[in-house]
Structures are given as structure tokens and as C-alpha cells.
Structure 1
Amino acid sequence: MATTPREGQAGTVTTTGTATGRRTSRRRTELAEFLRSRRERITPHEVGMPPGQRRRTPGLRREEVAQLAGVGVTWYTWLEQGRPINASTQVLDAVARTLRLDGAEREHLYRLAEVPEAEPPDEARQLPEDMQTILDELLPLPAAVCNARSDVLAWNAAFTAIFPCLETFPPCERNTMWITFTTPSCCNPVGNMAEEMPMHVAVFRYRYSRHMNEPGWKELVQRLQAANPEFARLWAEHEVALPGPRVKVFRHPVVEEIRTRTTNLDITGSAGARLVVYTPTDDESRERISWLLAHPELAAPSHRH
């Protein structure tokens, strides 16, 4: 009689009857066919294995995939057979690397296995080759590219004109959540904090639900809770809101208030990345942005913390 791979054995998981009942045979069949097709396209030579004799498959054998991924042979066999087993993100990541899956294939694997996909740390920062050109062509409209966690990955000159503190932060802290909740009031560029903070946290929690097991997301939330009591209070309320257009008011020490409306556009091929464009809501705000672009030396922050 077949036995369930033991918990704790490399790359193994246990079966759960309740989860089995929720999974559809269609999804499992698709998962089995997908894994088989990805395995058969990789030759032993490509992964440094001897070709061997009397191969019945054009690509790798199941046991070879398991060996390369560092998972149990029985577990991987059951996965490829479409059996109702559970898989962790770490184990699926190992399988994805072994099968050389690209971003779309990796996401497809996670969906078929019914595991919340982790955002690939490298792919999330791989933007289209022409992204900076597109950002620059949007001038004088402020625009930036952010990932799902609100890390700012790229921007144009108009964005730093209304968000001058961005470049004073080290790259690891160029995150709109972190900047909004930790920048002292004298330098904080967000003018409508009272309205913006609750919505900012609610939208962030909506995105967080898909990444809650990822260390980077959990660490950011913990740091924000420790750094700002207001964030901790709002986070504890568990409010959730869908992303959408919002009015954002910026304040600048030279030109004072700039009112904008945000538009978010997903960037195909870059996991979780979105282009955020800030359109002035009135002529005065538009003129103030243009003035800052014409006088970059005055748009820069007057001091550092």
C-alpha cells in the first residue's frame, strides 16, 4: 500500500482530506500535463547529466527532476500524477527552477497547484527595456513604477519634483508606504495625510493577502508597526479596499500644494509592477509642476534627516 511522504523529509508534504475535497480533477489533470511537458523539453545534457541508455522519455526522468530539485521522488511523482497533495512555496520554487520556468510558467504552476504565488524577487524588478523612456515621455506628468509592495522601481523627473525626499532614502527604503509613514512632517510630501493613510493601508492589506507568507512583506509590516503607532492602529482594524483612482495632494516647501489624481496601469511581463501616473486636477497644480521642472535646484529638499 502506498504511503504518504513523511513531513520533514526533503521536499515532502502530507495529504489533507479536507483540501482534497476542494480541489477539482480538472485542475490536477492540467497540472500533471503541464509538469510532464516542461520536464520533457529539458535534455539531460542541459543539466549536466549523462544521457544514459534506453530512455523512454525525450527529456528528464521524474527521479532526475526530484534529485535536481532536492525533493522526494515519491512526492514529485505524486505531484506530476495529479494526486491531491499539498505543496509549499519553497518546494514549488525548487521545482520551477529545475524545470527552468519563466515568470508566466511559474505563476501558472502556482495556480494549478493552488498555492498563493510568491512574488519573484528578481522578476519583480525586471522592467521592460523602454520603461524609462516611457516615463520620461510622460513629462510634465509625474509618473513612477511601483511593485505590489509599493517599492518604487523607476520614476521621471516630475515625480521627484513633487516627491523630493525619494532620492534621499537608500534604495531598500524607496517604498511609498515606508516614506508616507516614517518621514517627519517637515519633509513629508503627502499633504492629505488624514484621508490618505487609512486608504493607503486598506489597499496595501488587499495586496498583502496574496503575499502574506513572504518574508519581505512580513518584515515591512513589522517595521511599519514599530515605526509608526498610527500605522499599527490602522493595520489592526483590518480594513480592505480595492486599488483605484485617488486624489493625492502633495505639499512642497516652495510651491506649496499640488493636487493630483492617480491612474494605475499594470505592466505586462513584470510581476506585480504597475505604472502610476499623477494627473494635476487643476491649472494651478499643473503650472506648479512645470515650474519645479524648470527650477530643479529649488525642487530638491532643503535638508536631510
Structure 2
Amino acid sequence: MTTMAQETVAPAVRGAEIRRHELAAFLRSRRERIPPEQVGLPRGSRRRTPGLRREEVAHLSAVGVTWYTWLEQARDIQVSVQVLDALARTLLLDASERAHLFQLAGSADPTPAASCSTVTPALRELLRGLEPVPACIQNSRYDILAYNRTYGRLLSDLDDVPPEDRNCMLLVHTNAEWQSAIVHLEETRRLMAARLRASMAGHLGEPAWKMLVKRLKAESAEFRANWERYEVVNPRTKTKQFRNRDVGLLTVDHTDLWLNPEAGARMVTYVPVDEESRRRLERLHALALAAEEQDQALMPAASLTSGDSSR
């Protein structure tokens, strides 16, 4: 004879078990579709496994082989968001696949790839209305939550950057095009690290912050050196110079407009300080508009091609 409590718990237990099996199957399918050459590994003559081996995924994701094997066996184990983020990168998941991975694991994606309620339609319209002035909305972790067309072409083609990598700290340390556009790169890196440390004081236990710092330490010796300085600075208005690949040198005033009483989300604007910079930003905006119109013109043809290939 079952009790009411048992009847209530059983569906939840079954649901969790189903999700674990779906997660295991999803991970296997994604692993098997990636040829080793795509992630810089040799194929070898004795490889019988389609795609990557379990131990290769574990190594690339910096997790234990046994633990990852248990995950693919649908064992009842805890999976942190840091591990899910590492697996998503190793398995080259796109935005939809990444969201599916986190949903199956019952976790919220802490990266800017996830939707952000801070960015309302009105704020997006405001960003567009500021053009040709480059503007974006960032949080205190430097995630780029939204941006206008001029900002999207200011330092690199931001549309080509995966949403989960649209973070100024990551880009200034790992993206060569972004780095080449910043005139005073080393000073910028040092100040950004000090500003991040100051902001992190209120978020020390949050997974997204720990994930970001861990990744930066792993991928950038410059960040590690600056982080170990233990410097802190508060946000401030500053004149900056960028070297845009399309229009040349730009001199702008960086201003933060806070969107709430606490130092959380903010609108970042780059207002030109001289007429030459203003004209160059207008030209950059025109290039962004032309590129957008070209993309829109190609969309119907791309949709038709996609539809034909799916049949």
C-alpha cells in the first residue's frame, strides 16, 4: 500500500530519471558527431569510435573520465554549471543546443547567451536611437547584453561572436581582432581586471563570476598577472582611442549610464570628442546599415536553400 507522499514523490523521481537519460543520450550524440581533427586531436589508425572518445571529451572539459562516463550512463550525480559550460564548449554546441543541455540538467545558464530581463524592447530602441554613437548594455561582469549596430562593428564584428562569448573581459584577452582595435591595450586590460575585482566583491559565491575568472586564468597569462595585483578601481568616465579596421582612429568619451540604483546593468556609450571621430562614426554606422540590408536581402534565399536541403 502506497502513501500519498510516495505517490507525490514518484512522478518527480521518474521525471528526473527521464531527464538524466535524455541528457546522456544528448551528450553521446553530440560527442559522436565531432571528428577529432575539429578540436585539434589526431584521428589515429585504430579509432573505431565515431567522433570523440569519452576520455577525450573529459580531458578537453577538464573533468574526470569516470565522472563523465557516469554522466553518459545517466547516473544520479550532481552537475555544476561550470561543468555544463565546459561541456558545451568542448562539444561545440550552438545556442539552441546549449540551452537544451542546461534544461536537461535542470540548471540555469549563467552566461549572456541566456535571455536577460534587464534588456527591454524600450532599451533596445534607445540603443538604436543613439546611433551613430556606439552604445551597449553591460552588466558588472562585462557581459554584453545588447548593443546597437555601430557598437557591433566598433572593435570587431560582434555578430560573429557566439553569444556566450560576448564578454568584454574575454574579448580583450582572447580575441585578436578586438585586441588590435584598442590603442592602449595593456593599460585597458589592467584597469578592466581591477574593475572586475572590485565588482566581484558582491558576487563571490555566484557560479557565473567564478566561471569567468577561471576561464580567464586558463586562457590568458596577462589576465593572471593583472588579477594577482589585487588592484581595485571604481567605474569612471574616460577618454579612449580605438583603431577601427574600416574607418581608422576614433577618439571617444566612455560614459556609463546606470540602469538601476546598484552597480549592476549599465548603458555604455562612446561619444566622439572631435569632428573627425564623429564623421568616422557616421561612416561606420553607414557601413553597418549597408551590411544589415545585405543580410536581410539574402535571408529569403538562405531560407529557401535551407528548406530544400531539409527535404
Residues 1:190 and 2:182 are matched in the alignment: yes
Residue of structure 2 in register with 1:219 after alignment: 211
Is 1:241 matched with 2:259?
no
Choose between structure 1 and 2: higher helix proportion. Answer: 2
Structure 2 vs 1, CA of residues 271 and 143 (structure 1 numbering), >3 Å: closer, same or farther?
Answer: same
Kindly, what percent of the aligned residue pairs are identical? 32
**CA-CA distance at 1:272 after TM superposition:** 1.7
CA-CA distance at 1:145 after TM superposition? 0.3
Corresponding residue for 1:272? 264
Residues 270 and 209 (structure 1 numbering): CA distance in 2 closer, same or farther, change over 3 Å? closer
Question: Given the alignment of the two structures, is residue 166 of structure 1 paired with residue 190 of structure 2, yes or no?
Answer: no
Task: Please show how residues 1-305 of structure 1 align to structure 2 within 5 Å.
Answer: 125-184=117-176, 188-268=180-260, 272-296=264-288
Q: 1:185 to 1:168 in 2, by over 3 A?
A: closer
Which amino acid is the alignment partner of residue 283 of structure 1?
A: E
Q: Tell me what 1:79 maps to.
A: none
Q: Could you state the TM-score of these two structures normalised by the residue count of structure 1?
A: 0.54
Contact 1:123-1:270 at 8 Å conserved across structures: no
Q: 1:142 to 1:120 in 2, by over 3 A?
A: closer
Partners of 1:124 and 1:270 within 8 A in 2 = no
Aligned residues: 182
Answer whether contact 2:149 2:285 (CA < 8 A) is retained.
Answer: yes
| CA distance in structure 2 between the aligned counterparts of 1:152 and 1:120, rounded to whole angstroms | 10
Q: Using the alignment, how far apart are the partners of 1:273 and 1:245 within structure 2?
A: 16
Amino acid in the other structure paired with 1:126: T
Structure 1 unaligned regions, length at least 5: 1-118, 301-305
The 3-state SS of whatever aligns with 1:197 is helix
**Higher RCO, 1 vs 2 (CA within 8 Å, ≥6 residues apart):** 1
Give the structure with higher Rg (CA).
1
Structure 1 residue 288, shift from structure 2 partner: 0.8
Shift of 1:259: 1.4
Match for 2:144: what amino acid?
V
Q: What letter matches 1:156 in structure 2? A: N
Pairwise CA RMSD: 2.8
CA distance in structure 2 between the aligned counterparts of 1:177 and 1:163, rounded to whole angstroms: 13
- Give the direction of change, closer, same or farther, for the CA distance of 1:262–1:217 in structure 2 (3 Å limit): same
Structure 2 distance, partners of 1:226, 1:120, is 18
Q: What corresponds to 2:32 in structure 1?
A: none
Counterpart residue type for residue 260 of structure 1: V
Shift of 1:130: 0.4
Q: Distance in 2 between matches of 1:292 and 1:130?
A: 24
Measured in 1, the distance between the counterparts of 2:165 and 2:117 equals 15
Shift of 1:157: 1.1
Tell me the amino acid that sits aligned with residue 229 of structure 1.
A
Whole-angstrom CA distance in 2 between matches of 1:259 and 1:128 = 30
Mapped partners of 1:219, 1:124: distance in 2 = 18
Quickly say closer, same or farther: Cα 1:298–1:255, change in 2 above 3 A. Answer: farther
Residue 159 of structure 1 deviates from its aligned partner by 0.7
Mapped contact 1:165–1:189 kept (Cα < 8 A): no
Tell me the CA shift for residue 126 of structure 1.
3.0
Q: TM-score, normalised by structure 2?
A: 0.53
